[in-house]
Every structure is written in structure tokens, then in C-alpha cells.
Amino acid sequence: FVARIISVVCWDPMSRQPRTILHCDLDAFFASVEQLDDSSLRGRPVLVGGVGARGVVAAASYEAREFGCRSAMPTSTALRLCPHAVMVPGRGARYSELSRRFMAILEEASPLVQPLSLDEAFVDVTGSHRLLGDGITIATEIRRRTLEELGLVVSVGGAPNKFVAKIASDLEKPDALVSIGAEGLAQRLATLPIERMWG
């Protein structure tokens, strides 16, 4: 039964070719934008979010994550873990601007873009192979353009379906490109801890 489901979601019914789904996720997006716009923050632990008794971390830079800080954590807890972190209030307009430009890059790879949030989206590039190359080639170009045009790093996971593509993008973060093909897909997933299964 499971094998049948995997077969259904991994193949394009029109072409009978394996589907190629990319999950593109900007690394530590809010914090990375702050480090991009303020060079004094680069290489330092940065927390984006609210302050005060009820403040919550919206994003933590990878430097802050080394101390255990993460998004959705109370700000007070994050600052106890990393007292020298720089606390920055969010700038929604700036994040939205860069998100729009990021999505525009994705839409040049395929019209089949499904945003999940400001900083991540699924892109079905199955129909783009003839024009743009295979999934790795397309993902590499997305990563290059995102860095050159926006100054941001995007991790990309490629797989025959969305579920596995999202897992793949997170496996080697930050600055990752991971592809999991239909061949041996179940065996590859079997080696992962259950915590890797999103949702």
C-alpha cells in the first residue's frame, strides 16, 4: 500500500517521467536580512523578535542557534542562553520586498510555485527539464541567482514529491543542496530519525 502511494506521488501521470519537486528555503531569513543590511551584525548572534515579558523570537541567526536559540522561543529564554545576542525588531516591509523578489526568481524556473511562507516554497520543475536542465542544474541556478541578486543563501531539497523535498532541504542546512531520487527513496528515509519527518 505504501509503495503504491509512493509510486503515485513520484511520477508525472502525463509524461510517465519521475517528478522533480524542489523545496527552496531561505536560511534564517529574517536574521539573514538583518545581517545583510547591517554589516556590523555579520558573524554575530542575532535574534529577531519582540522584547519584554511576552516577547517571542521570530528568527535566530545560525550563530545564535549554536547556543540553543530558535524561532518561537520566548525572548527571555533565548537571551538567557545567549546573553550577548543582538536583539533586533522585525521589519515586515523589508522581508516582504525580498520575499517577492525571491518568488520571482522561482517563477522563472517554473510557473508551478507554491509558497509556504515568506521564505520558502515548493517548485515543480518537472516540465522545465528540456529548457533549463535537470533538477540539480535548476536548483544550482536558483541558489546562484538568490545569492547574487538578493545577497541571501537558500537551501534546496530536490525529490519526487513535496514531503521528501522538504525533508531534503533541511538535511544539511545551512547553504545546502540535497537531492533524493525515486530510486532508493524508502531506504534513504528509513535511515532518518522520526524527528526529521515534518508535520
Partnered with residue 47 across adjacent β-strands are 60, 87
Contacts with 76 (C-beta within 8 Å, 6 or more apart), sequence order: 53, 55
- Maximum CA pair distance of the chain? 56
d(CA 29, CA 99): 9
Closest CA to 21 of 29, 33, 31, 12: 12
Q: Are 57 and 36 in contact (CB under 8 A)?
A: no
Whether residue 45 has a cis bond before it, omega within 30° of 0 = no
List, in sequence order, every beta strand (DSSP E) within the chain: 21-26, 46-49, 57-60, 86-88, 113-117, 120-124, 154-159, 177-179
Residues identified as active-site? 120
